[in-house]
A and B are shown apart, each in its own frame.
Chain A
Amino acid sequence: MKLPVNLKIMKVHLLSRKRQTIVAMLGVTFGIGMFILMMSFMKGMNDFFEDIMLSVTPDIRIYNDYKTDYSTSVALQYFGGKGNNLVIVRHPRPKQINLNLKNAPGIIRDLQNHSEVEVVSPLLSAQLLFNYGPVQLGAIVDGINVRDEDRLFGLSEKMVSGKPENLLMADNGILLGYKLANKLNVGTGDLVTAVAPSGASLRFRVVGLYKFGIATMDEYKAYVNLTDMQQLLGKSRDYITDIRLKMKNMERAPVHAPTMAKKYGYKADDWETVNASIKAGNLIRDTFTYVLSFTLLLIAGFGIYNIMNMVIIGKMKDIAILKAEGFARKDIVQIFLSQSLIIGFIGSMAGLLLGFLLSYGLSKVPWPEDEWVVIKHFPVNFNTLYYVVGMIFGLLTTGLAGLLPALKASRVDPVAILRG
């Protein structure tokens, strides 16, 4: 197949100065390659943080927010305040507060019938102390229905030993974080004693250890059956403090949370609100990556602009002669712009390949050994979107960088050149 004449000229021009062409291409290749690498890595990090965050955050949490009504006080009755007597109470304290959700079974039933809710997991949580010889170690212990909790957070995937279901089989079973178990010097099958703030205590048998990769979960957290917790705290069978939900589509959680809060009269937080700082972190990293990549491409663009400008200055005579032969301005633009676009296209393709190879290599690099973090390799996200964006970026910058010199070339006055 024979190329159209303008493209034939373009080809000869590119091939007659191979070194310059290759240098210009390498600029684009490097820019796009780094863009792909950075986007893949940054996105991998974001995914990793989001995964960790979501592994301990329910889509929606409904709970009884601690609010105290100070409008009435026993002080008023005690001092017999009437008429013009003014009783001022500084730093009042509440007499009795129940943090539970009243009518919890009704709310749970109602939520289970909600079309967009996938899992409903009730919770009764308390700060307990574990006896370890003379030392008492504090931990938040969650009383849960283990099947619901497993569906909510995927407990079974986090187990180091034992199974979550063991809670149901054993009498007074407990699941410990592996760090906490280490500190208590116990393993599966051993007994631990937990003491409630009220002084009541209960002996639990360790039936499993888990590892989330998050310090607060692994060192200061344990799971027991909801009924055992209610018993230890001396509460009734319907006493729970939180209801956690997993939605069929987690993106809809911010929509549903306010309506649920209104409907049941309790506070409802969605995962986005709770983890706003992580979201902000993601946004900052994304912005940073785009800015840096854009800068790299801009530099590559300047390189192409420079090279094309030099080429055109060196080819003034050729341009004049082409015009005299009957090549119009648009032909000249085509000849020189297509050179930049070819450089951009081949450079970008090579850049995508380079980016892929680099990010693939990075995904095989072991993550520095760290007992808190549960990843083996650098997190990398291979999303095709970045490759498409990279290609568009590459063509756009080289196109723009080539357009100005090409337009300049098309404006060359042949008479001024040919007359010498």
Chain B
Amino acid sequence: MQELLKAEKLNKYFHGPDTVQVLYDISLSICESEFVAIMGKSGCGKSTLLYLLSTLDTEYEGTIDINGTRVTGLNENAMARFRNEYIGFVFQFHYLLPEFTAIENVMLPALKLGNFDHEAVEKNALEKLRRMDMHQHAYKLSGKLSGGQQQRVAIARALINDPTIIMADEPTGNLDSVNTDVVFNIFSQLVQEGNTIITVTHDHDFARKGNRIIEMADGRIKT
């Protein structure tokens, strides 16, 4: 299988009043169509690692290559463009833009990418929402939706540009059991369709659906 993401010797420091090292020499590689779950106790650095891999956090030592591109050291604009095109995000809290409708939230990353015109993007967005079973709420303001519905819209948004990697930070962390199941099923489906997913989670049931679990402790990967 083709290697999609490769990280080498990642070191990360937090510079508060004191400098604290939170990641120690982390190297990992993730292949196409893999579902990788990163687990570990709170504060072990798993979220920090995810944000490094997602290119949002750029202050680290080491190198990251995604899809054959060295993202470490890319300039700000190129990095934003790369993120827009290749990475889809799902967060613990849905983080939709409340003044926009559900479908507008889904459409924004695609409109930013600008590969298709407005109508095509809208059609695509509606299709993505339909897969999440949210198409009947497409034109409601996102602030008016329930938590589980919002998270499904957020997943649709993450998929809109057909990203190479989907990164999720505790996607079920803030949902009740019913909605957790819904999101579980959506992720299982995404994996079956051959999407590459990296997720941080506390949930063992969720993690077991993956091909691989990376366990972390004190800023290191447990082997």
Q: Which residues of A contact B (CB under 8 A)?
A: 2, 5, 8-9, 12-13, 16, 317-318, 320-331, 414-415, 418-420
Residues of B with C-beta under 8 A to A9 = 97, 108
Contact of B95 with A by CB under 8 A: yes
- Contact residue among A324, A418, A420 (Cβ-Cβ distance under 8 Å from B83): A324
- Contact residue among A13, A318, A322, A418 (Cβ-Cβ distance under 8 Å from B91): A418
Which residues in chain B, 112-153, are within 8 Å of chain A measured between CB atoms? 112-114, 118
Q: Are A419 and B80 neighbours in the complex by a CB distance under 8 Å?
A: no
Bitwise, B20-38 to A at CB < 8 A (1) or not (0) is: 0000000000000000000
Total contacts A to B, CB within 8 angstroms?
74
4 other contacts beyond A12-B100, A326-B85, A326-B113, with CB at 8 A cut-off? A9-B97, A324-B91, A326-B81, A418-B95
- Contact residue among B77, B99, B157 (Cβ-Cβ distance under 8 Å from A328): B77
Q: Are A321 and B76 neighbours in the complex by a CB distance under 8 Å?
A: no
Q: Are A326 and B109 neighbours in the complex by a CB distance under 8 Å?
A: yes
Q: Which residues of B contact A (CB under 8 A)?
A: 47, 51, 54, 56-57, 76-77, 79-85, 87, 89, 91-93, 95-100, 104, 108-109, 111-114, 118, 157, 169
Residues of A with C-beta under 8 A to B93 = 420
Residues of B with C-beta under 8 A to A323 = 56, 80
**Closest chain A residue, CB of each to CB of B160:** A325
Q: Please name 8 pairs of A and B residues whose Cβ atoms are closer than 8 Å in the assembled complex, sorted by A.
A: A321-B97, A324-B89, A326-B87, A328-B76, A328-B79, A418-B169, A419-B47, A420-B93
Of the candidates B79, B95, B96, B114, the one having the most CB atoms from chain A within 10 angstroms of its own CB is: B95
Residues of A with C-beta under 8 A to B118 = 2
Q: Are B95 and A317 neighbours in the complex by a CB distance under 8 Å?
A: yes
Q: Report the minimum CB–CB distance from B168 to chain A (whole Å).
A: 12
Docked CA distance A5–B113 (Å): 10
Docked CA distance A419–B98 (Å): 19
Residues of B with C-beta under 8 A to A418 = 51, 56, 91, 95, 169
Q: Report the minimum CB–CB distance from B93 to chain A (whole Å).
A: 7
- Contact residue among B57, B76, B77, B108 (Cβ-Cβ distance under 8 Å from A325): B108
Interface of A is mostly: helix
**Closest chain B residue, CB of each to CB of A329:** B76
Docked CA distance A5–B84 (Å): 14
Q: Are B112 and A325 neighbours in the complex by a CB distance under 8 Å?
A: yes
Docked CA distance A381–B20 (Å): 69
Q: Report the minimum CB–CB distance from A314 to chain B (whole Å).
A: 10
Docked CA distance A330–B76 (Å): 9
Q: Are B91 and A325 neighbours in the complex by a CB distance under 8 Å?
A: no
Residues of A with C-beta under 8 A to B111 = 5, 8
Docked CA distance A328–B82 (Å): 10
Q: Report the minimum CB–CB distance from B18 to chain A (whole Å).
A: 18
The 8 closest A-B pairs by CB, nearest first: A326-B84, A328-B80, A5-B111, A16-B99, A325-B109, A326-B83, A321-B95, A2-B118
Indicate whether A330 sits within 8 Å of B77 (C-beta atoms), given known contacts A5-B108, A324-B83: yes
Q: Are A326 and B99 neighbours in the complex by a CB distance under 8 Å?
A: no
Docked CA distance A420–B92 (Å): 10
Q: Are A5 and B99 neighbours in the complex by a CB distance under 8 Å?
A: no
Q: Are A326 and B169 neighbours in the complex by a CB distance under 8 Å?
A: no
Residues of A with C-beta under 8 A to B109 = 325-326
Q: Are A12 and B99 neighbours in the complex by a CB distance under 8 Å?
A: yes
Residues of B with C-beta under 8 A to A8 = 111
Q: Report the minimum CB–CB distance from A416 to chain B (whole Å).
A: 10
Q: Report the minimum CB–CB distance from B86 to chain A (whole Å).
A: 9
Docked CA distance A328–B77 (Å): 5
Indicate whether A414 sits within 8 Å of B56 (C-beta atoms), given known contacts A321-B95, A326-B113: yes
**Closest chain A residue, CB of each to CB of B110:** A5
Q: Report the minimum CB–CB distance from A331 to chain B (whole Å).
A: 7
Residues of B with C-beta under 8 A to A16 = 99
Residues of A with C-beta under 8 A to B83 = 324-326
Of the candidates A12, A328, A414, the one having the most CB atoms from chain B within 10 angstroms of its own CB is: A328
Of the candidates A325, A414, A418, the one having the most CB atoms from chain B within 10 angstroms of its own CB is: A325
Q: Report the minimum CB–CB distance from B172 to chain A (whole Å).
A: 16
Residues of A with C-beta under 8 A to B95 = 317, 320-321, 418
Q: Are B112 and A331 neighbours in the complex by a CB distance under 8 Å?
A: yes
**Closest chain A residue, CB of each to CB of B80:** A328
Residues of A with C-beta under 8 A to B54 = 324
**Closest chain A residue, CB of each to CB of B114:** A5
Q: Report the minimum CB–CB distance from B130 to chain A (whole Å).
A: 21
